[in-house]
Amino acid sequence: MASGEDLSGFSMFELFREEVETQAAVLSAGLLTLEQDPGSSEELERLMRAAHSLKGAARIVGLDPVVEVAHAMEDDFVAAQQGRIGLGPEHVDVLLRGLDAITGIALLQEAETPSWLAEHGPEIARLVTELHAVLVPSTAPPPAVEPPPAPAPANAPPAVPAQAPAPTAAGHTATELRDLRISAESLTRLMGLAGEAVVAAKWLEPFSLSLRELKKAQLELGDHLETLRRSLAMGPDGPPAGHALTAQAIDLVATCRRVLAHRMGELDTFALRTTNLASRLYRHVLSSRMRPFGDGCRGFPRMVRDLAREVGKQVRLEILGNETGVDRDILEKLEAPLNHILRNSVDHGIEAPAERTAAGKNPTGVISLEARHQAGMLLVTVRDDGRGIDLDRLQAKIVEKGLSQPEVVARMTKAELLEFVFLPGFSTAATVTQISGRGVGLDVVQRMVQEVGGALRVESEPGLGVTFSLELPVTRSVLRTLLVEVSGEPLAFPLEGIDHTLLVARDDIQVLEDKQYFMFDGNPVGVVGAHQVLDLPAPESNGDELSVVVVSDQHNRYGVVVDRFVGEREVVVHSLDERLGKIADISAAALMEDGSPVLIVDAADMVRSVHNLLSGGRLRRVATGAEAAAAAQRKRLLVVDDSLTVREVLRQRFENAGYAVDTSIDGMDGWNAARSAEYDLIITDIDMPRMTGIELVTLIKADPRLAAIPVIIVSYKDREEDRLKGLEAGASYYVTKSDLHDQTILEAVVDLVGRADE
């Protein structure tokens, strides 16, 4: 709490809670340090003063049990300072339990504190006894006494951190003297306004450019008038008034030129000053929103220490980059994922002391947690020096769970195998414990990283350890995006969600199974229209090139065709109203320089949507080459057949005749396609999975919107009963398998709907 902050609105109990939060951080960090260096007189001094401050604060608010616990802890620290006792790990356990009891009481509501203390008085008394027992030198550890549990109210402050700046003589930390508390909601609003100020200031740039154009036009006008004056002066019969008017016009142009030049100079200065001011405002607000990475890691040393003792291991956690700035939203979201990774490292990664010694390692394992800025992103790395991931066991688990075939798993690279550890419910642990083994944890890490638009990688070396790398945006308040146009509407793709942007010639688009693709870096990339994914009107197909945004996830990569690229933009992110729920393919919104709204694409969600549409066969083809100009004029056919060969033969035959052709893989797929697009004629097989051709014809003829579409039935068995059933269902024509090899089926199409361009 800042020294100049008005404290009149805080009750004494709230001030006590603030004091506990501050001093508990000092105690927690100091006790963990003392465990590694029991004789540190400097650390013991800080611990003694922190316990003394807690005792005084508790006495002021009348919490005698807390006074007793803090006093007993203080006596222990004084005795250690005087060399009368040594504080070993078993003593640190008791002192940490005392600290947990104090922080638990501080989290209670003031009104419920007296009754809670009365109920748990005997437990607190036993804890005080244990703390006094630390003063008695003994080779046996004292019996474990858990602190009394304290309920955590819904509005309780964050968990007590494990590190904090050392207290000053006045009892406040150095950070407290500099920091000013502000609500997250107010700071978020301020952040949004500052970002909009940056965007609004850019409006002056095009205005200044337009004035420069005006100045250029006036210069040209002046030149033309000067030429006119000279021509009039040379003509012997020129009107006298013309000379005077021309001279006046030239004078006016000169005056406008002087005024315009002066005003333009002022405008340029104003634009520069405003942009600079907005940028400084934005940077300062951004820095105030940022928190040191260490703030989100304060509980990790204690957690790693306790967990290591529980499983009988020796583990040391090193935290690097404590001062690295991180957006508070990102930092809050990081807590759970990092907790999962650290727990996995302690339980799975670090070996038992005996195993490490046998392998020639130090008995104490090391886990390092590091944060740094790299290329405009936040890179968080968790690395341990444990046994690494057993790839043979990983392969066996993949096969055992039926996630892939043995021969496929055997050909997978190490990177491909390691991706499986992020699947929900996947675990290589032999047994399920309270710590891990249920396959819950790493999938949470991946979901969080994807949610904020980051990337997650894992690397492992047998016998050397595992490294998890999380690449995250530094802030989610402002995004760098690629602005595109889809069906005449602006749309913003976050740059971190884009693999590539390309201009692809229409003639380079190839077709296989009615699915389009182009080759890029030697690999096929499926092509879809953004308007189809977003259910927008089809744009006009102009030009010989397609503007393609390539997006991907871990399993699929697609090229999304947009109308055009507008350019790169920094946009201020505005969250959508929670009442809207999750909007498919959209993550948030922003405002353009002119105040108009623009939606921000959720790239990962769009990849999933494209995959689902392709799986259902509901995507229409992007026009290629000469098709672009004539697509709207041609008749459209739908071929429904479960045979790839037949579909491709019919598609090529009808396209060679000039028709636009779509295909479906069975009756159900054909029914979905018939309802989602307009067709002039449908050709369907009879025997198909999920829905037969007869059932498809029946549904089409029963639908008022589709009943008028003629249908051709194709029978490969040439059975009279099939012909009768098809015609009774409403089919307009019946052909047999032999008719596919001559012009019969094409003539039937011409008879029913005419030629392709008629």
pLDDT digits (tens, 9 = 90+) for 568-602: 887 877 777 777 777 888 888 887 766 788 888 88
Between 64-81 and 41-60, two packed helices, what is the crossing angle to 10 degrees? 160
Query: Given this model, what pLDDT does residue 366 score?
Result: 92
- For the chain, how long is the longest CA-to-CA vector? 126
The yes-or-no verdict on residue 162 having pLDDT over 90 is: no
| pLDDT(3) > 50 | no
In angstroms, the CA 709 to CA 700 distance is 8
Q: Are 3 and 172 in contact (CB under 8 A)?
A: yes
C-alpha 623/C-alpha 546 separation (Å) is 10
**Tens-place pLDDT, residues 472-508:** 877 767 778 889 998 888 999 988 788 889 898 888 8
Helix runs in 311-413, H state only: 328-344, 353-358, 391-400, 406-411
Which residue has 């001030």 as its token pair?
A: 15
The candidate with the shortest Cα–Cα distance to 683, out of 704, 613, 628, 673, is: 673
pLDDT at position 470 over 80: yes
Minimum mean pLDDT range among 31-35, 198-202, 523-527: 198-202
The per-residue pLDDT for range 623-667, each reduced to its tens digit, is: 544 444 455 568 889 988 888 778 878 888 888 888 888 888 888
Is the Cβ–Cβ distance between 177 and 22 less than 8 Å? no
Residue 84 pLDDT more than 70? yes
Q: Which of 65-69, 271-275, 369-373, 603-607 has the lowest mean pLDDT?
A: 271-275
Collapsed DSSP state (helix, strand, coil) of residue 446: helix
- What radius of gyration do the chain's Cα atoms show? 37
CA distances in angstroms from 314 to 362, 364, 466, listed in the order given: 10, 5, 17
Mean pLDDT over 64-75 rounds to 86
More confident call, 307 vs 416: 307
Give SS3 for 11. Answer: coil
- The pLDDT score that the predictor gives to residue 5 is 43
pLDDT of residue 494: 86
Yes or no: say if 180 and 156 are a contact pair by the CB < 8 Å rule: no
Over residues 2-7, mean pLDDT: 42
What is the CATH architecture of 297-473?
A: 2-Layer Sandwich (3.30)
- Rounded mean pLDDT of 104-116? 84
Any idea which of 92-106, 329-343, 625-639 has the lowest mean pLDDT? 625-639
pLDDT for 427: 66
pLDDT of residue 145: 45
Rounded CA-CA distance 418/457 in Å is 9
Instruction: Give me the mean pLDDT over the 25-51 stretch.
Output: 81
Residue 690 φ/ψ, nearest 5 degrees: 70, -45
Mean pLDDT of the chain: 77
Residue type, 705: R
**Per-residue pLDDT at 154:** 38
Coil vs helix vs strand at 734: strand
Neighbours of 578 (CB within 10 A): 7
Least confident of 362-371, 418-427, 705-714: 418-427
Q: Which amino acid is at 727?
A: L
Q: What is the pTM of this model?
A: 0.55
**What number is the average pLDDT over the span 669-674?**
84
Tokens 């634009």 belong to 271
Find the range with the poorest average confidence among 31-45, 92-106, 218-232, 371-385: 218-232
Domain 478-615 has CATH 2.60.40.1930: no
Tallying the residues shown for the chain, one arrives at 758
C-alpha span between 21 and 530 (Å, rounded): 51
pLDDT surpassing 60 at residue 97: yes
Q: In this model, does residue 380 exceed pLDDT 50?
A: yes
- Is the pLDDT reported for residue 59 higher than 90? no
pLDDT per position as a tens digit, 528-538: 888 888 888 87
Residue 86 pLDDT class (50, 70, 90 cuts): confident
Question: Which of 316 and 431 is assigned the larger pLDDT?
Answer: 316
Cβ–Cβ under 8 Å, residues 34 and 179: no
Number of alpha carbons in the 13 Å side-chain half-sphere of residue 65? 25
pLDDT: which is higher, 20 or 716 = 20
pLDDT band at 183 (very low <50, low <70, confident <90, very high): low
Share of residues in the chain with pLDDT > 70 (%): 78
Residues 539, 324: Cα–Cα separation, whole Å: 46
Distance CA 625, CA 514 (A): 16
Buried b (16+ CB within 10 A) or exposed e, 534-572: beeeebebeeeebbbbbbbbeeebbbbbbbebbeebebb
12-151 belongs to which CATH class? mainly alpha
Reduced to 3 states, what is the DSSP secondary structure of residue 560? Answer: strand
**CB neighbour list of residue 499: distance below 8 Å, 6 or more residues apart:** 550, 551, 552, 557
Question: If one looks up domain 634-753 in CATH, what number appears?
Answer: 3.40.50.2300
Q: How far is CA 223 from the centre of its chain?
A: 58
State the pLDDT at residue 682.
92
Extents of the domains making up the chain: 12-151, 186-291, 297-473, 478-615, 634-753
Which amino acid is present at 189?
R
Query: CA 746: distance to chain centroid?
Result: 51
What is the tens place of the pLDDT at every residue in 698-729?
Answer: 899 888 888 889 998 887 766 777 778 888 88
Residue 157 has pLDDT above 50, yes or no: no
Of 676, 661, 670, 674, the closest CA to residue 631 belongs to 661
The yes-or-no verdict on residue 563 having pLDDT over 50 is: yes
Element (H, E) at 206: helix 204-234
